[in-house]
Amino acid sequence: MTTRIDTRFAALKREGRAGLVTFVTAGDPDPATSLAILKALPAAGADVIELGMPFSDPMSDGPTIQASSQRALANGQTLAKTLDLVRAFREHDDTTPIVLMGYFNPIYVHGVERFLTEAKAAGVDGLIVVDLPPEEDDELCVPAVKAGINFVRLLTPTTDAARMPAVLANTSGFLYYVSITGVTGTAKPDFAAVGRAVAAVKAKTPLPVAVGFGVRTADDAAAIAASADAVVVGSALVAAIKSALDSNDAATEATVAAAAALVRELAGGVRGARRSAAE
- What are the residue numbers of the active site? 50, 61
* Cβ pair 199, 163 in contact under 8 A: no
Per-residue CA distances from 230 to 44, 140, 181, 184 (Å): 16, 25, 19, 17
Rounded CA gap, 23 and 227, in Å?
A: 20
Q: Residue 234: which residues within 8 A CB-CB, separation 6 or more?
A: 22, 23, 24, 50, 65, 184, 185, 212, 213
